[in-house]
Structure 1
Amino acid sequence: MDTSHPAWQRICALTDILPDTGVCALVGERQIAVFRLGDDSLYALDNHDPHSGANVLSRGIVGDLRGEPVVASPIYKQHYALRTGACLEDATTTLQTYAVQAREGAVWLLA
């Protein structure tokens, strides 16, 4: 994937992501977890869980901790802030986040 010139890429229809769930998108050779919250806000971050070594975050449980939208890893349950990618239990771990938006009924990712 050429990251020197990011471009918006269509990922899926907005209706393909149920509210308060995520999906995994393969962009180039990178797996990216894309989440849709109940208010239709969208977030995207790396799908790779550095604590387990597995690409599973898109299957995590979406929730809220102290006002911060998060996803809990389905393996060891670390919480990652959807806005920043920061791990709430391990300040040394942060996932890459991506710009994501809904346009004309589709989800678009800048990667």
Structure 2
Amino acid sequence: MSQTLGSTIERARDRDREEGPCAQQVVELLWEDGWLEVCPVDRLTPGRGVAVLLPDGRQAALFLLRSGELYAVGNRDPFSGAWVMSRGITGSRGTGPDAVPTVASPMYKQAFDLRSGACLDEPLTPEGEPAGLGSYRVRAVLARQEVSA
């Protein structure tokens, strides 16, 4: 799932003008029974991914695209078994409003849809398993920092 940061950034600036610069944007990932805070937005580099360790020990690959959209998919490459998808190359398939945001595996270069985690090149791994990454809902929200005096 994706969310564009532009409107969230604008709301953060408005809030800072009203309440001071104690608000910061954080990325949250929907996990089991609620939203899990994973990192501050300013730690993300547009066009690159980061690995996120989840409470059950699995990993997600979190991406901030240059367009400002956030995506999270599983970090394990189903073809190699390596936990490397966060190091993949982001791009798209198609053009215009039908373009599909993608990440290419750094191992064997299969492209995956960042919206769903589906592999766009091969439906199955060589072992006959489904070749998807899975996906997570993510959002950027304003978080309040507590300051003690």
In which range does the TM-score fall when normalised by the shorter chain? 0.7 to 0.9
Note if 1:33 corresponds to 2:61.
Answer: yes
Q: Which runs of 5+ in 1 are unaligned?
A: 106-111
Note if 1:77 corresponds to 2:109.
Answer: yes
- The correspondence for 2:119, drawn from 87, 94, 104, is 87
C-alpha separation between the residues in 1 aligned to 2:49 and 2:63? 4
Aligned-partner SS, 2:137: strand
Structure (1 or 2) with the larger CA radius of gyration: 2
C-alpha separation between the residues in 2 aligned to 1:63 and 1:49? 17
**Which residue is equivalent to 1:109?**
none
**Which residue is equivalent to 1:64?**
92
**Which residue is equivalent to 2:41?**
14
Aligned-partner SS, 1:18: coil
**Which consecutive aligned stretches of 4+ in structure 1 deviate over 3 angstroms post-superposition?**
none
Aligned-partner SS, 1:87: coil
Letter aligned with residue 13 of structure 1: P
Q: Cα deviations across residues 67-89 of structure 1 (Å, max 9, x unaligned)?
A: 11000000100000000111011
C-alpha separation between the residues in 1 aligned to 2:132 and 2:75? 12
| TM, length-normalised to structure 1 | 0.86
RMSD: 1.5
Q: How many residues align?
A: 102
Report the CA distance between 1:99 and its aligned residue. 0.4
C-alpha separation between the residues in 1 aligned to 2:32 and 2:122? 31
| TM, length-normalised to structure 2 | 0.65
Report the CA distance between 1:5 and its aligned residue. 3.9
Identity of paired residues, percent? 43
